[in-house]
């Protein structure tokens, strides 16, 4: 056997052993949980690749705001929009009965705010009104789908905005992604294959400032670990079912290397605290795996 062939076999055996160790740890975390748990991990520099249920099409909820923001920034890159352009906020687009820091900030008066503020609030604070304002600006969910399709993103579908998801619990399942798709699109983003360098740097900074879901992916990681992330959550329906408790992100390791991770907890009858703890525990297990 040639040396290159032997080396390949040795690397494959080592990778399999690593995956087995991580898989056992993750299995112990999700054992007996009444939920569908999907996990994908992709090492950027060492090509480490792991997934559990990574091809299942599961509801994204607000994770899709990353994809929406990227599509909007593609318009910026093409000169069709500007981060400085003013967006009108008023009662017609600041709906009540939904999560919206923008509405809470500007509820007493009509306002003109820069597009950059809408993106910041939509991604870092997961503002639902901001999300739908961005979608309206670029022509709806079909524009996001076309953009992702054009970039070779598979296992992803977006059909409905936040307002529609609030009206009908079931439509969230039409906005789906696989966790494998999520880590792959994060790698494309990191590599500058989605957006210009300027827009990539900008969105990365916004994601690094995400303030939602502090009890999920970052909870057990060392303080001040850089994690560019986007959360998503459905809450529970009248039957006590959680459609989605999700998070995706790019983690920077102490050695300067990176990995993408996507964690989806779907169709769960566990408590919100348990769902979030599953994400937190798996995130810590993956971190430990990369820092052995």
Catalytic residues, by residue number, are: 62, 162
The answer to whether 105 and 130 have CB atoms below 8 angstroms apart is no
What tokens does 213 get?
Answer: 């879901």
Tokens representing 3 are 């040396």
What are 39's two structure tokens?
A: 């996990």
With CA atoms as reference, report the closest residue to 168 among 68, 263, 59, 255. 59
Q: 170: buried, middle or exposed (CB in 10 Å: 19+, 13-18, 0-12)?
A: exposed
């Amino acid at each position: 056997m040639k040396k290159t062939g032997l080396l390949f076999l040795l690397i494959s055996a080592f990778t399999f052993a690593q995956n087995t160790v991580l898989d056992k740890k993750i299995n112990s975390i999700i054992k007996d949980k009444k939920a569908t748990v999907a996990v994908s991990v992709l090492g950027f520099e060492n090509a480490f690749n792991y997934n559990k249920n990574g091809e299942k099409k599961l509801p994204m909820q607000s994770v899709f705001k990353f994809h929406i923001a990227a599509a909007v920034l593609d318009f910026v890159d093409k000169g069709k929009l500007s981060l400085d352009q003013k967006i009108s906020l008023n009662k017609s687009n600041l709906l009540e009965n939904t999560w919206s820091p923008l509405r809470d900030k500007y509820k007493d008066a009509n306002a003109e705010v820069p597009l950059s503020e809408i993106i910041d609030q939509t991604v870092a604070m997961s503002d639902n009104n901001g999300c739908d304002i961005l979608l309206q600006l670029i022509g709806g969910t079909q524009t996001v789908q076309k953009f992702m399709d054009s970039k070779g993103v598979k296992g992803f579908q977006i059909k409905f905005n936040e307002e529609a998801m609030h009206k009908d619990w079931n439509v969230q399942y039409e906005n789906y992604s696989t966790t494998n798709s999520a880590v792959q699109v994060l790698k494309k983003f990191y590599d500058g294959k989605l957006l210009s360098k300027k827009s990539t740097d900008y969105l990365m900074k916004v994601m690094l400032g995400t303030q939602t879901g502090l009890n999920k992916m970052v909870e057990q990681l060392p303080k001040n670990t850089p994690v560019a992330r986007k959360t998503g959550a459905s809450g529970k329906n009248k039957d006590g079912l959680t459609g989605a408790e999700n998070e995706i992100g790019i983690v920077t390791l102490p050695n300067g290397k990176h990995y993408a991770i996507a964690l989806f907890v779907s169709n769960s009858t566990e408590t919100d605290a348990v769902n979030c703890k599953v994400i937190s525990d798996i995130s810590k297990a993956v971190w430990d795996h990369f820092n052995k």
